[in-house]
Chains A and B, each alone.
Chain A
Amino acid sequence: MRSVYAVSGGVSKFTKARPDKTFQAVVKEAYDYALLDLALEHRRFLEVVDGSVASYFSDHFSRQLMAGIMVQDYLGLCPKPSHRVEGGGATGGICVQEAWKAVASGYMDVCLAYGFETMSHVATWKGNEFIALASDVSFDYPVGGFYSGYYAMMVTRHMKEFGTTPEQMAHVSVKNHMNALYNPYAQKRERLTVADVRGAPMVAWPLTRLDICVMSDGAAAVILCSEEGLEKLEEAGATINRPLVRVAGIGRGTDAMRMADRPHDNYEEFLSRYLLPHEDTAETRSYYRGLWEEGFRYPGIHSFRAGRMGSKEAYRNAGISDPQQELDFVELHDAYTSSEIQTYEDMGLCRYGEGGVYATSGKAFMPGVDYGLDLPELPRCPVNPSGGLIACGHPVGATGLMQGVFAIWQLQGSIGKHFSDPTLQVAEARRGAIHSHAGTGTYVTVTILEREV
């Protein structure tokens, strides 16, 4: 595999609705920004870009099949190769990884990854219906038919297993909304309290409206390239931002569509297949042994096995042995505050069962931001410094790419430039992870990005 660099990106600010433009023109905004940041002209880019990968989730939302090719032609990329990827909420993360593959394999030197979603063309509750069609239509949809309900069931089990509380989840909401105050790309930039979150209208117990991300319209784009691609871009007139940001490794996992089908594995099975290297200590083995003695089974419906597998693979490929020590920030898929907590555990930022306590510890918060919370520990690895999906929104096909763009900017040290505010710049950010997640943890991608020293 060749080295792959993530050289530039752009995001159209996610909003509730973008009736002013068609999806192609919204992608064009993100694309133009990515080129502008390289000081590269469109015509010159066309001379060197080898192809693209398109990302969007649902044909239902836009009532348009093959929307990917419509973006391809709008951007002027025809007749270069392209394909569309789809994997629910993880579509954007998959897109980044497919573009990485195109470059890493030597197939392309410069690849454009773009993603979008237009969710505003249907009423909110119809939108929820479309999203719920991404659950088994024979067994899941007719019974629940509501994704927030599915995630709420997963977290009630997490609460039962580990004593996780809604107030701990609310800390995630406070954090992500507050981070968003300093991110002009976020749409919900709010100073909230735990009481505000708990007092918001209940959607699916115990998740309130402030525990859940919002459907949005938006687009994002990332440019990936090889060493040769860097030279080609520079020859075409691009000013490559340095330090360079390299894709250090990718990982991906899956799990059964119906959460009812998820296994409940024993301790030995967990140890042999799912333990992360840094968890392989006598103390942690004994901790997990204790969980099993209390009836814990893995992954059940409280944990995302796909998230663990994706993390394990990505860490291995990036040479990370202890994520909490070796990651400077994480942009993860917080469609629900509960899934952020579950994902802390899957990604090994803490052990299974410790996510709730981790959420209130302070370790996942940004330094230098006053959250109005009493946090016992100092920030260690900020999670969702951008505000995440909770505050930025979740136009499905664009989301994972947005995370990629924010991660590139963190590692370039250019958050201050792009956000016109340096508050959310993670100091000395050397390595970060982006995590994209589909329906109840069916597909999860983890991509590690790092700054060249």
Chain B
Amino acid sequence: MILATNNKKQTMEESFGGYVLHNVPFPTELDEDALAALKKMGPILIEQPYSVTYLHSFGQDSPFFAGLANGHLLASRDPETGYTYGTPRGHDMATGNETEWVEIPAEGTVHAFTVCHFGSEEFLPECPFVLAQIEFPGVDTLFMARLTGLDPAEASLEWIGMRVKGRFRRLSKFKPTDIYFYPA
């Protein structure tokens, strides 16, 4: 079968990788003309792999991740004003006080969302996925999470304000995605 296409811009996906090259053409004699001609040479492009493993610390936010791993959603509260952060932080921005941990129900509403049809290399295999900011009752700031149970092809502003519930991953990855949300 021949697939007809009139899309002139259709291109194949570009990727790195190729043959290992151990030499490139170069003038055999470097006379004046040959040296001048070097200015017209195209650039040499080489691959430089770079890989590193970090031992990242969640520091003072660590209990939040321990909570997720054990099925509890924690928030940070200023002991003086009661201002509550849906995404943990060790100190309150207004008072400078150290916050305390409080448990909040894993139930809220969608404050904003998008459907990512593309993403960073690390997340490309997961596309399309629904990304949202969740608001919790009585909590002053938001929490970014993935939303499941919605058709990515049917994105709609109606999703904003939708009631959602959190579900904890059984096998914790110690990432904020250890909790994700679905329509209540």
Chain A window 150-164, contacts with chain B (Cβ cutoff 8 Å), 1 for yes, 0 for no: 001110110110000
Question: Which B residues from 55 to 77 make CB contacts under 8 A with A?
Answer: 56, 58, 61
Tell whether, in the assembled complex, residue A123 and residue B111 are in contact, meaning their CB atoms are under 8 Å apart.
Answer: no
- A123–B114 CB distance below 8 A: no
Q: Mark A292-330, 1 if CB is under 8 A from B, else 0.
A: 000000000110000000000000000000000000000
B155 at interface, CB cutoff 8 A: yes
From residue 158 to 180 of chain B, which have CB atoms closer than 8 A to chain A?
Answer: 160-161, 175-177
| Cβ–Cβ < 8 Å partners of B106 in chain A | none
Residues of A within 8 A of B93 (CB): 256, 261
A207 to B155: give the CA distance in the assembly, Å. Answer: 12
Report the separation of the CA atoms of residues A258 and B16 in the bound assembly, to the nearest whole angstrom: 33
Using CB atoms, name the residue of chain A closest to B121: A125
A80 within 8 A of B: no
Q: How far is the CA of A363 from the CA of B76 in the complex (A)?
A: 45
Residue A129 at the chain B interface, CB threshold 8 Å? yes
Closest partner residue, chain A, to B59 (CB atom): A138
A129 touches B122 (CB 8 A): yes
Task: Return the CB mask of B78-95 against A: 1 if under 8 Å, else 0.
Answer: 000000011101000100
Q: How far is the CB of A226 from chain B (nearest CB, A)?
A: 38
Establish whether residues B114 and A156, one from each chain, have CB atoms under 8 Å apart when the complex forms: yes
Once A138-B61, A301-B111 are accepted as A-B contacts, the answer to whether A160 and B157 lie under 8 Å apart by CB is: yes
Instruction: Give the residue name and chain of the B residue nearest to A209 (CB).
Output: B118
Q: Please determine whether B116 and A204 come into contact, CB atoms closer than 8 angstroms.
A: yes
A272 to chain B, nearest CB (A): 15
Chain B nearest CB: distance from A411 CB in Å? Answer: 37
B interface residue count range (under 10 / 10 to 19 / 20 to 34 / 35 or more): 35 or more
From A128, A157, A205, A262, contact of B117 by CB (8 A): A205
Q: Is the CB of A260 within 8 A of B86?
A: yes
Chain A residue nearest to B127 in the complex (CB): A146
Interface string of B32-65 (1 = CB under 8 A from A): 0000000000110100101000001010010000
Is B182 part of the contact surface with A, judged by Cβ < 8 Å? no
Contacts of A204 in B (CB 8 A): 114-118, 131
Bound Cα distance from A146 to B130, whole angstroms: 12
- In the complex, which residues of chain B have a beta carbon less than 8 angstroms from the beta carbon of A132? 120
Instruction: Tell whether A144 is near chain B: CB-to-CB under 8 Å.
Output: yes
Could you tell me the distance in whole angstroms from the C-beta of A291 to the nearest C-beta in chain B?
Answer: 17
Q: How far is the CB of B89 from chain A (nearest CB, A)?
A: 7
At the interface, yes or no: A183 with Cβ under 8 Å from chain B? Answer: no
CB of A156 within 8 A of CB of B48, answer no
Which residues of A does B touch, CB under 8 Å? 19-21, 63, 123, 125-126, 128-129, 132, 137-140, 142-146, 148-149, 152-154, 156-157, 159-160, 201-207, 256, 258-264, 301-302
> Can you list 8 pairs linking A and B with CB atoms under 8 Å apart?
A129-B122, A143-B131, A143-B146, A144-B123, A145-B120, A157-B111, A260-B144, A263-B141
Given contacts A128-B118, A140-B144, 20 further A-B contacts (CB under 8 A): A19-B43, A125-B120, A125-B121, A138-B176, A142-B176, A143-B176, A146-B118, A153-B113, A153-B131, A153-B132, A154-B112, A156-B112, A157-B160, A204-B114, A204-B115, A260-B86, A260-B133, A261-B87, A261-B142, A302-B112
